[in-house]
Amino acid sequence: MRLAAPMGLLINRNQHVTFKFEGKQYDGYHGDNIASALLANQQWLMSRSFKYHRPRAPLTMAGHDANTLIQLGGEPNVLADRVAPSQGDIIEGQNYSGSLENDRDSILGYFGRFMPVGFYYRAFFKPYGVWEKWESVIRKKAGLGKLDLNFEPEYYDKVYLFKDVVVVGAGPAGLSAALTAADAGASVQIVDEHPILGGSLSYHRFDLEGKIADQTRSDLVAKVEAHPNIEVTLNATCNAWFADNYLPVIQGKRMYKVRAKECIVASGAFEQHVVFRNNDLPGIVVCSAVSRLMKLYAVKPGRRAVLLTGNDDAYFTALDLYEQGVEVAAIVDMRAQGGAQSVTAAVQNLGIKITLGSTVYEALATKGNKHIRGVDVRAISGQGEVDAQSNLIDCDLLCVSSGFMPSYSLLCQAGGQLSYDDETAAFNLSNLPAHLHIAGSVNGIHSLTAVIRDGERSAVDALQNLGHDVASIEPIECDKQTNFDWPIFKHPKGKDFVDFDEDLQVKDIINATRIGYRDIQLVKRFSTLGMGPSQGRHSALPAARLVAKSTQRTVSQTGVTTARPPYAPEKLAHIAGRIFDPVRRTAMHDRHIEMGAKMMPAGNWQRPAFYGKPEDRDKCIWAESEHVRNKVGVIDVSTLGGIELRGPDAAEFMNRMYTFAFLKQPVGKTRYAVLTNEHGVVVDDGVACRIADDHFYVTATTGGVGGVYSDMLKWNAQWRLDVDIANVTAAFSAINLAGPDSRKVLEKIASDVDLSAEGFPHLAYREGSVAGIPARLLRVGFVGELGYEIHVPTSYGEALWDAVIEAGKEHDIKPFGVETQRLLRLEKGHIIVSQDTDSMSHPGELDLGWAIARKKPFYVGGRSVDIVMARKQTRKLVGFTLPKGSAKPEEGHLVLSGDDISGNITSCEYSPTVDSIVGLAFVSIDQCEVGSKFEVRTDNNVMVNARVVKLPFYDADGKRQEL
Amino acid sequence: MSESRQFQRRSFVARKLEGSEFLNINDGAVMVKALANASDNQVQQSGLIDLSVAQRFGFRGLNAAQHMQACDYPVPSKPNLCDVGRNGELVLRLGETEYWVLSNPQELEQTPNYQAPVLDKCYSLFCQNSHSWLMMVGPSLAETMAKICGVDLSSSQFPVGHVCQTSVARINAVIVHHEINNKSVFSILSDSASAVYLWEALLDAMTEFNGCAMGLSAIT
């Protein structure tokens, strides 16, 4: 049932949208939301309540209540009065058993006395074991909506916005604030959760003639839309306030992370319902909801209406209803003195009956509580009390308004203080942080002229903070009374709902206080008050009044529950956004993929673990290791950290940083470099190449180079040595060419370097060209074979790889991966810092005493190393073997000494070269003698006896790497 | 040429553009024209250009400014500013004592004058290989960057001639605001090992602005 234009500001009557609700097809217009389209088709029932499964229909038509939660396709808990239907949508109600119309679980309403407030905290735990019986039943009944387990993730993202002034709320206060700020030159962003600008101007009647709202809106919106300094974000919710005006604004699938120098909250106020029996029936709405229905969607909300009010707004609503052909049976005014003379006369002139000092005591329902069919009106005899005499009025629409609650959530998140004024029966806000301002009805200003002026005032305050020279505006006064002080009428039969989300009745709140939960925060936790999707927008005020009365305190003393982000439900996808997970690739990455590498993460890097199918891991690793031992292999070691040290004090710096002696390290030589921290713990290692007297190139571990580099900068900030320190990890690509045939391969492509054993001995450093590429060559033997590390500028990395592979073809060169390298170095007994060490490992435990220059006066951690190594040692890293075929310990498995844990496995693999299981483990000092045995608890509690052996496991005299 | 791997020096990103037309710059491949359906000449459209193999170098140290002047390069007055050299090179000042020189993007074949430092306390840097160089063109630079960077890069806050060192899509980056043919562009210099990651993140952010990979022809 649609009204004629100009009703229907949002809809396009030429564009139809068809969708299904509960299996039945409905026709709406473009611009409708799901609820308005359903109501236009007389479909009020949209959902069932959480606890008693009572029929529910829209209360606010603004997306502010949970009555309209529906299932939209695979998405549960969609607000029908917020989301527009799309052609062909399949929509269902929620929380019912059977059908929405005939919900078998509605019988729960009759068992309310067995489900008192907090009943689930006090039941189901005795006798012991009963919870297991109840759990499945409760879990089946809990939760709203159905999850689509075949859901495919969708694209959500985040965007930063930077503005001088952000205005939250596009009502008259917000628009006037935005224009004032923009006129002064500020960049302004308006954020509003509704689809059009204007706020209450787009639906509310501010005068008897019903003209001023349209005129004002038209004027303000035209100016805003034409203003070059104003940007508008509609259908967007400012979901929180964080320090320094950091505002997450959600629009569609995007979260804007707004940085505002000044923030003006003109978020308006929530119209409040009245508490009486059956106040949740479909057909009972707040006055602004019917205004929205008519003005925005051209929906005739009923045939015969009653208005229950505590202010003058309902009188204007009555005029709107009357003009749109709705019979207004009565205005029931809770105020004994009634409304202003002008509005009273206006409605009386239309023949509308006004009943003063009265309330609706009970709403009467059609069968199954599907809709309101009448009201029981009684005179108010005291606070919350009524006379016995009832006056029944037939109606199919009841519009209620007991007053307004400021939309305080963002402001209280910012630390704003809510205070209750007993005279006006309203809350007001104070103590806002600097650079946060409020305007309009959220500030307790309600008359239109004052609201607009208050918007200007807030903008002036913001502009002054921004340094604009503008004249101050005095605080705006407004004496318009909107709130009735006690719109709560407890009924002996209950169903007088305070909180619709959680089906909380008056007695629930009172009982919570009687049980001992006197603090509103405890009442909230015990009763779940305000914890539903509408976050207490309509329950906070009546609950505060009830708790105050029940605990003999004032509402101010009682306060309201803490407002926390988010203001409205938001999806995890909004919080996650488009996830950025940086990945680093070496220059040879694509070649590894082409050669069938199984890639593995190493920090942010991607590295080849081995080449072959994942299910063939062990075979691949063994084959690769045998190939390196017998022929030649190549591994990409580009991820190795690289640090460049240049300057007259480079050697002195190296000498202070690392444990070894570097002052006299010859140019053209490499030296093992161990780094300890101030506690004497080994934190990294690498190879230091002396390129010139004043130039070192030192490698670091893949994961450790960032820390090493920042440590170097930190230390030199103190030492002030004349040295330049550069992290060149990404600037160099590197390979390790290893195996008995590696020299033959390199000789084919390195023409200007003497590669003979004498010309380029073990641990030497050379520079030259490899395949025409400028290269740094290190003769090091991490894997224990004749080998060369070749470092080239990164842009040449792939060309180097290609050249080496090509040159190695006749020697059957094969790539090997990180897992294979770990096995090869394990066979040589070389440690990997952070795998074979922990946060307590000092050089003595690791048998690295040979890498410490004890005669030099200082190195980082030197004093601590001396102290910890002088103490009685408690553990040691040792090599061990197990017979082939034993249960293989994994890294982290425990080493035992009797019943005590004495250490752990750090590395362990089967070695085809040694033909046994080999590994490294921390053991207690009395277990470390070569030849002794220790127990290891492996998977499934299988115990194995490992034997301590002398390291290395392979090529003890190191001849192979010195070929 | 249509195979970036024909060159000794290879950009991480160029491999993703195989099939395009490449130009040999500094012994590396720079895409000239994008894949068949892209419209390189529409500078009005958002585009991303890979200039990673183009020549660049840098100097750092107490005498770096003196060396820059000796090489006839302008020295920006303070950190986080950039200037344009005699031959169109971009000269960035990244710190009190650190300067980078980038080739003139419109004349990449003309390599800038590099002279090894001869003074003490002046060290050449490794930015040619440690960093990738991507250039974002089009009318929506700040709007695109707002999706991946927490710094306000609108022209009022980040005018032409300014340099911003910040985090982009969670990796460190140097962003330079300069002009090509009197239109604003952002040069983005970032960890070369993360070049493919950043390239994809930037293109993803540019999607809503019809952004795509472009070649040199978009700016020359």
CB pairs under 8 A between A and B: 107
| A556 contacts: CB under 8 Å, gap ≥ 6 | A419, A420, A422
Q: Which residues of B touch A605 (CB under 8 A)?
A: 193
Which is nearest to A76 in space by CA: A569, A449, A701, A513? A569
3-class SS of residue A921:
strand
Judged by CB atoms closer than 8 Å, whether chains meet at B193 and A794 is answered as yes
∠ CA(A714), CA(A719), CA(A721), 5° rounding? Answer: 105
A665 vs A781 pLDDT, higher one? A665
Q: Which residues of B touch A793 (CB under 8 A)?
A: 9, 126, 128-129
Which is nearest to A272 in space by CA: A474, A487, A467, A451? A487
Please tell me which of the candidates A160, A580, A581 has its beta carbon nearest to residue B146: A160
With cut-offs at 50, 70 and 90, classify the pLDDT of residue A862: very high
Residues in chain A: 963
Q: Which residue of B has its CA nearest to A729?
A: B130
The contact set of A with B (CB < 8 A) is 157-162, 257, 259, 578, 580-587, 590, 604-605, 638, 644, 646-648, 722, 724, 726, 728-732, 772-773, 793-799, 802
Judged by CB atoms closer than 8 Å, whether chains meet at A580 and B169 is answered as yes
Residue A125 pLDDT more than 90?
no
3-class SS of residue B46:
coil
Judged by CB atoms closer than 8 Å, whether chains meet at A730 and B191 is answered as yes
Angstrom distances, CA of residue A17 to CA of A32, A34, A292, A299: 9, 10, 20, 16
With cut-offs at 50, 70 and 90, classify the pLDDT of residue A140: confident
| A437 contacts: CB under 8 Å, gap ≥ 6 | A177, A262, A263, A264, A265, A458, A461, A462
Angstrom distances, CA of residue A374 to CA of A42, A60, A332, A488, A703: 18, 20, 13, 19, 74
Judged by CB atoms closer than 8 Å, whether chains meet at A582 and B194 is answered as yes
Which is nearest to B141 in space by CA: B188, B94, B193? B188
Per-residue b or e along A71-97, where b marks 16 or more CB atoms closer than 10 Å to that residue's CB: bbeeebbbbbbbbbbeeebebbbbbbe
- Dmax (CA) for chain A in angstroms is 117
User: Distance (Å) from the C-alpha of residue A151 to the closest C-alpha of chain B?
Assistant: 22
Question: For residue B22, what are the β-bridge partners?
Answer: B31
| A107 contacts: CB under 8 Å, gap ≥ 6 | none
Residues in chain B: 220
Please tell me which of the candidates A581, A638, A799 has its beta carbon nearest to residue B10: A799
Q: Which residues of A touch B60 (CB under 8 A)?
A: 724, 726
Distance from C-alpha of B46 to C-alpha of B207, rounded to nearest angstrom: 9
With cut-offs at 50, 70 and 90, classify the pLDDT of residue A479: confident
Residue A184 pLDDT more than 70?
yes
Q: Which residue of A has its CA nearest to B12?
A: A587
Residue A53 pLDDT more than 90?
yes
Query: What tens digit of pLDDT does each residue of A732-763 get?
Result: 999 999 999 999 999 999 989 999 999 999 99
Q: Any alpha helices (H) in A128-248, and if so which ranges?
A: 130-141, 172-183, 212-226
Q: Which of B3, B121, B192 to mutate to test the interface with A (most CBs of A within 10 A)?
A: B192
Distance from C-alpha of B159 to C-alpha of A486, rounded to nearest angstrom: 59
Q: Which residues of A touch B154 (CB under 8 A)?
A: 162
Q: Which residues of A touch B140 (CB under 8 A)?
A: none
Q: Are A448 and A316 in contact (CB under 8 A)?
A: no
3-class SS of residue A668:
coil
Supply A231's token pair: 């940007």
Q: Which of A155, A156, A160 to mutate to test the interface with B (most CBs of B within 10 A)?
A: A160
The 10 Å Cβ neighbour count of residue A267 is: 29
Q: What is the pLDDT of residue A133?
A: 82
Q: What is the pLDDT of residue B44?
A: 57
Supply A22's token pair: 């509960």
Distance from C-alpha of A217 to C-alpha of A9, rounded to nearest angstrom: 12
Determine contact: B134 vs chain A, CB below 8 A: no
Q: Which residue of A has its CA nearest to B13?
A: A587
Distance from C-alpha of B108 to C-alpha of A107, rounded to nearest angstrom: 80
Q: Which residues of B touch A607 (CB under 8 A)?
A: none
Question: Sign of torsion, CA A194 A199 A201 A206?
Answer: positive
Judged by CB atoms closer than 8 Å, whether chains meet at A795 and B5 is answered as no
Put simply, the chain B residues between 39 and 78 with a CB less than 8 A from any chain A CB are: 52-53, 60-61
Q: What is the pLDDT of residue B220?
A: 84
Which is nearest to A755 in space by CA: A794, A732, A719, A787? A787
The 10 Å Cβ neighbour count of residue A892 is: 9
B31 vs A294 pLDDT, higher one? A294
Average pLDDT estimate for B178-206: 97
With cut-offs at 50, 70 and 90, classify the pLDDT of residue A303: very high
Q: Which residues of A touch B121 (CB under 8 A)?
A: 647, 722
Q: Which residues of A touch B157 (CB under 8 A)?
A: 162
- Dmax (CA) for chain B in angstroms is 52
Question: For residue B100, what are the β-bridge partners?
Answer: B58, B92
Q: What is the mean pLDDT of chain B?
A: 91
Which is nearest to B192 in space by CA: A215, A732, A160? A732
With cut-offs at 50, 70 and 90, classify the pLDDT of residue B209: very high
User: Distance (Å) from the C-alpha of residue A278 to the closest C-alpha of chain B?
Assistant: 49
Question: Sign of torsion, CA A251 A254 A257 A260?
Answer: negative
The radius of gyration of chain A's CA atoms, rounded to the nearest angstrom, is 39
* Element (DSSP H or E) covering residue A509: helix A506-515
Judged by CB atoms closer than 8 Å, whether chains meet at A648 and B120 is answered as yes
3-class SS of residue B134:
strand
DSSP-derived secondary structure letter, A570: -
Please tell me which of the candidates A585, A722, A772 has its beta carbon nearest to residue B12: A585
Put simply, the chain B residues between 142 and 171 with a CB less than 8 A from any chain A CB are: 143, 146-150, 152, 154, 157, 169-171
Supply B180's token pair: 């090509």
Q: What is the mean pLDDT of chain A?
A: 95
Question: Sign of torsion, CA A737 A743 A747 A751?
Answer: positive
3-class SS of residue A573:
helix
Q: What is the pLDDT of residue A802?
A: 97
Q: Which residues of A touch B169 (CB under 8 A)?
A: 580, 582
User: Distance (Å) from the C-alpha of residue B202 to the closest C-alpha of chain A?
Assistant: 11
Supply A952's token pair: 């290395």
Q: Which residues of A touch B52 (CB under 8 A)?
A: 795
DSSP-derived secondary structure letter, A258: E
A109 vs A890 pLDDT, higher one? A890
Residue B37 pLDDT more than 70?
no
Which of A270-274, A445-449, A723-727, B45-49 is predicted with the least confidence, judged by mean pLDDT? B45-49
Average pLDDT estimate for A130-134: 84
Query: What tens digit of pLDDT does each residue of A203-217 get?
Result: 999 999 999 999 999
Q: What is the pLDDT of residue A228?
A: 98
Task: Report the first-to-last Cα separation within chain B, whole angstroms.
Answer: 18
With cut-offs at 50, 70 and 90, classify the pLDDT of residue A116: confident
Determine contact: B131 vs chain A, CB below 8 A: yes
Supply B200's token pair: 């994809």
Which amino acid is residue A838, in one-letter code? D
Distance from C-alpha of B12 to C-alpha of B31, rounded to nearest angstrom: 12
Q: Are B4 and B25 in contact (CB under 8 A)?
A: no
Q: Which residues of A touch B197 (CB under 8 A)?
A: 582-585
User: Distance (Å) from the C-alpha of residue A158 to the closest C-alpha of chain B?
Assistant: 6
Judged by CB atoms closer than 8 Å, whether chains meet at A587 and B171 is answered as no
Please tell me which of the candidates A159, A581, A732 has its beta carbon nearest to residue B147: A159
User: Distance (Å) from the C-alpha of residue B132 to the closest C-alpha of chain A?
Assistant: 10
Distance from C-alpha of A499 to C-alpha of A276, rounded to nearest angstrom: 12
Query: What tens digit of pLDDT does each residue of A409-434 get?
Result: 999 999 999 899 888 898 889 999 99
> What is the residue extent of each domain of chain B?
4-53+131-218, 56-127
SS (H, E, C) A862-916: HHHHHHHHHCCCCEEEEEEEECCCCCCCCCCCEEEECCEEEEEEEEEEEECCCCE
Judged by CB atoms closer than 8 Å, whether chains meet at A585 and B193 is answered as yes
Q: What are phi and psi of A263, to 5 degrees?
A: -125, 130
What share of chain A in percent tops pLDDT 90?
A: 90
Q: Which residues of B touch A795 (CB under 8 A)?
A: 9-11, 28, 52-53, 128-129, 192
pTM of the model: 0.92
Per-residue b or e along B84-115, where b marks 16 or more CB atoms closer than 10 Å to that residue's CB: ebeeebbbbbbeebbbbbbbbbeebeebbeee
User: Distance (Å) from the C-alpha of residue A306 to the closest C-alpha of chain B?
Assistant: 50
Supply B155's token pair: 């022209």
Angstrom distances, CA of residue A870 to CA of A344, A876, A916: 96, 14, 36
Q: Which residues of A touch B125 (CB under 8 A)?
A: 726
User: Distance (Å) from the C-alpha of residue A190 to the closest C-alpha of chain B?
Assistant: 18
Supply A474's token pair: 């005095």
Average pLDDT estimate for A60-74: 95
Q: Domain B4-53+131-218: which topology?
A: Gyrase A; domain 2 (3.30.1360)
Q: At what angle do helices A742-749 and A797-808 cross, to 10 degrees?
A: 120
With cut-offs at 50, 70 and 90, classify the pLDDT of residue B2: low
Interface predicted TM-score (ipTM) of this complex, two decimals: 0.96
Q: Are A586 and A639 in contact (CB under 8 A)?
A: yes
Angstrom distances, CA of residue A787 to CA of A630, A743, A948: 13, 8, 29
Residue B181 pLDDT more than 60?
yes
Distance from C-alpha of A272 to C-alpha of A537, rounded to nearest angstrom: 8
Q: What are phi and psi of A226, to 5 degrees?
A: -90, -5
Q: What is the pLDDT of residue A523?
A: 93
Judged by CB atoms closer than 8 Å, whether chains meet at B170 and A580 is answered as yes
* Element (DSSP H or E) covering residue A456: helix A448-465
Q: Are B189 and B131 in contact (CB under 8 A)?
A: yes
| A584 contacts: CB under 8 Å, gap ≥ 6 | A603, A604, A605, A606, A639, A730, B191, B193, B194, B197
CATH class of B56-127: alpha beta
Which is nearest to A730 in space by CA: A901, A591, A585? A585
Average pLDDT estimate for A214-233: 98
User: Distance (Å) from the C-alpha of residue A161 to the closest C-alpha of chain B?
Assistant: 7
Judged by CB atoms closer than 8 Å, whether chains meet at B129 and A795 is answered as yes
What share of chain A in percent tops pLDDT 70?
A: 100
| A588 contacts: CB under 8 Å, gap ≥ 6 | A636, A638, A733, A735, A797, A798, A801
